Amino acid sequence: MILFHGSDIAVEKPIANYGRNKVDFGQGFYLTSLREQAVKWAKIIAFKKGVKKAFVTEFNFDEDFLASLGSRYKKFQVYDMEWLDYVVDCRNGGNLQSLYDVIEGGVANDNVIDTVENYENGIITTEQALGQLQYKKVNHQICFRSQEVLDKSLSFVRWEEV
């Protein structure tokens, strides 16, 4: 499987614990199967850092390796209660992120972040949040929290400036 990483730098050797904490799936190295999403991430990061260059790095991912992780791999298929609680916990620096080495699922992007934050702040109920999320298109992200898993399952292909 081909995965993409968007950043203000070209990344040939990913580091699992380099990224920000208190994000969707906790601190880790984030990729997506959607190239256009990685391009968007790269441009946003470059803009926020005030740099002119943005890069998308392409990796080959050995999907068969996921089977060896067993319960250390979590995949969220849809925006549901489990995903919502997990994202809120991670965005608040909670402990759930430590349960897994690899987490895959939807992005709390511009389309869903208002719902997540309104739920987190008690402005809307669980039922209201899930009602709003059911109409949202699930984007894709995969977060690697283990350096060992990164090293064994991901191989650099190329990078390009976008």
Contact between residue 90 and residue 25 where contact means Cβ atoms under 8 Å apart = yes
Residue 108 confidence (pLDDT): 78
Query: Which of 59, 63, 35 has its CA nearest to residue 154?
Result: 59
DSSP state of 32: B
pTM of model > 0.85: yes
Query: Which of 5, 14, 91, 78 has its CA nearest to residue 40?
Result: 5
pLDDT tens digits for range 55-113 = 999 999 999 998 899 999 999 998 899 999 999 999 899 998 889 999 999 887 767 88
Q: Give yes or no for residue 133 having a pLDDT over 90.
A: no
Residue 114 confidence (pLDDT): 86
Using CB atoms within 10 A of its CB, is residue 85 exposed (0-12), middle (13-18) or buried (19+)?
middle
Mean pLDDT of 115-140: 88
Give the integer Cα–Cα distance in Å for 114 and 129. Answer: 10
State what percent of residues in the chain have pLDDT above 70.
99
Mean pLDDT of 117-121: 89
Query: Which of 59, 57, 63, 58 has its CA nearest to residue 45?
Result: 57
Mean pLDDT estimate for the chain: 92
Q: Which amino acid is at 92?
A: N
Give the integer Cα–Cα distance in Å for 16 and 146. Answer: 6
Residue 113 confidence (pLDDT): 84
Residue 3 confidence (pLDDT): 98
